[in-house]
Amino acid sequence: MTDALRVVLLGTAAGPYPAPGRQGCANAVVVGGRVYLVDAGYGTLGKYVSAELSLRDLGGVFVTHLHSDHVAELFTLFLLGWGPANQGVVDPVRVYGPGPDPTDPGPPAAGTEGLVAGNLAAFGQDVAVRQRTSDRPRLAGLIHATDLSAAAGAEIVVHEDDRVRVTARAVPHPPLHLALGYRFETEHGVVAFSGDTARSDAVGELAAGADLLVHEAMEPDFYRSIGYSPKLLDFLAASHTSPADVGRVAAAAGARRVALSHLGPCDPARLDDEGWLGRVRPHYSGPVVVGHDLLDLTV
């Protein structure tokens, strides 16, 4: 089967502000027809439907971190896509992501479980009315959120079923206390996701021998050209990865193919595909693709 394992880059933009041409981060790993989402930034549900994926087939959601450009439509997926109509979600779905920050000096801000619970409360009127007036299952019973924690350097096993084994590692994306990269192992191949991260050996571990590495990329030359201060450029380097370093990480990991996503700048008029590729190729000899929304990759 040539399409037993596919990755659809649903949204490929960096940052929370909507930009022309690219939308917020989301990726679909499709294994034998079941869909596993990695992140759910703005625009995810529309892209999911445009990719002709069915919410009925949603097998799990894996959140890399709680920045809004990665989770703005996490709850929307369920709120708008719930129930028997339109092939919506009718069976419980596991949602995994970082928990609250244990070092937070104030009342701890919500982790993934709190994000779901807070949204359920915020949309309580709509949810209650729809449950009373239709044959939809209880929405709260369909979203099984789990807060994750991961010590630096440790691999955690997040999820296992008959199609995938998913592991994760903490990656450096300060000042967030926890950001995760994921590795999906299937009988048809291995796919790794860096999430948002500075150049990291943890990504190398996740991507070791992978058939496809989906890696974030932010080009410091662009941010220098628009007047970022040295301090801001240092911050960028501490929390994101240049395309040259993506090449170095992929080469060291022995990844067989690389897809660039979470692109900053995300406007092709600022940096086009050849510009991105030209920065990666000196450091990595394998095939590289520049992510665009709805790019469908057979693994």
What strand order describes the sheet that includes 143-148?
A: 143-148, 93-98, 58-62, 34-38, 26-31, 5-11, 295-298
Question: Please, which residue, 67 or 136, has the CB nearer to Zn ion?
Answer: 67
Footprint of Zn ion (CB under 5 A): 67, 196
Question: Please, which residue, 67 or 279, has the CB nearer to Zn ion?
Answer: 67
Minimal distance in Å, beta carbon 65 to Zn ion?
6
Minimal distance in Å, beta carbon 151 to Zn ion?
20
Minimal distance in Å, beta carbon 261 to Zn ion?
12
Which of these, 143, 96, 92, lies nearest to 117 by C-alpha position? 143
Which residues is 185 bridged to in the sheet?
Answer: 165, 190
Q: Confirm if 48 and 77 have CB atoms less than 8 A apart.
A: yes
Question: Please, which residue, 82 or 182, has the CB nearer to Zn ion?
Answer: 182
Q: At a CB cut-off of 8 Å and minimum separation 6, what does 29 contact?
A: 5, 6, 7, 35, 36, 37, 38, 164, 184, 191
Q: At a CB cut-off of 8 Å and minimum separation 6, what does 36 contact?
A: 28, 29, 30, 58, 59, 60, 61, 62, 164, 166, 184
Minimal distance in Å, beta carbon 137 to Zn ion?
33
Minimal distance in Å, beta carbon 230 to Zn ion?
21
Q: Confirm if 38 and 166 have CB atoms less than 8 A apart.
A: no
Which of these, 164, 147, 241, 148, lies nearest to 202 by C-alpha position? 241
Question: Please, which residue, 196 or 211, has the CB nearer to Zn ion?
Answer: 196
Question: Please, which residue, 196 or 219, has the CB nearer to Zn ion?
Answer: 196
Question: Please, which residue, 164 or 213, has the CB nearer to Zn ion?
Answer: 213
Minimal distance in Å, beta carbon 196 to Zn ion?
4
